[in-house]
Amino acid sequence: MIPLFIALEKFGPEDGERWEKYCAWAKIPGLTEVVGLDGSLCPRILPEIKDEDWPHIVNEDFRLNYFYHLDYLLKRVATVPRRNILGLYRNSETHIQTRPAAGNFVFIGYDLVEDMTGISALTNCGGFPDVFSNAALNQFGLITDFNRACEIQRRLTELHPKEPHAHCERYAVWRLSEP
């Protein structure tokens, strides 16, 4: 599988009232930071595509914010201090143990995201208690176990066929640890 990379704004306790309101609404026990692909919680750092970006980005469907080349992405966001650089594997058949790139990438879990809207079924849909408990989410709002993430992905579409946010892509999320 080819890894993808994206740079997102951080969302956590440093966000003050916005974070407090989100935590009260989401009711995810043990949440310390949202580290996922939900664009409304963790907006993309690069909201516009420059001409020089095109050779480096995924140019298909709704994935124009994803990059193939980590080194290029890091240059583009070099001046942004509060960020998450994520390495991703999309809809893999198994859990991939290989880091998405050289560097200090740490696996942090799986996110289930509707690509068209960028909404996470895990952290920004108010929960699907008939499919998963919010207590099953880790401290970043993600599912840690591959098989459980696949099961949730499958059950969301089975039990909620008319809910757009239930039709998700599964992303393995690795975060670059930066100083």
Amino acid at 130: D
Q: What is the pLDDT of residue 36?
A: 93
Compute how many other C-beta atoms are within 10 angstroms of the C-beta atom of residue 126: 11
Residue 71 in 3-state DSSP? Answer: helix
Domain that holds residue 47: 4-176
| pLDDT at residue 109, rounded to an integer | 98
The whole-number pLDDT of residue 41 equals: 97
Residue 7, beta-bridge partner list: 85
What is the pTM assigned to this prediction? 0.94
Dig out the tokens for 35 from the structure.
């580290």
Q: What was the pLDDT predicted at 116?
A: 81
**Count of CB atoms situated within 10 Å of the CB of 172:** 25
Return the H-helix or E-strand segment holding 171: strand 169-176
Burial (CB < 10 A; 0-12, 13-18, 19+), residue 55, is exposed
Question: Do 157 and 167 meet the contact criterion of CB atoms below 8 Å apart?
Answer: yes
- pLDDT profile of the chain (179 residues), mean per 10: 95 97 96 95 89 84 81 94 95 94 94 90 91 96 98 96 92 93
- Tell me, what's the pLDDT at 61? 67
What total number of domains does the chain contain? 1
List beta partners, residue 6: 86
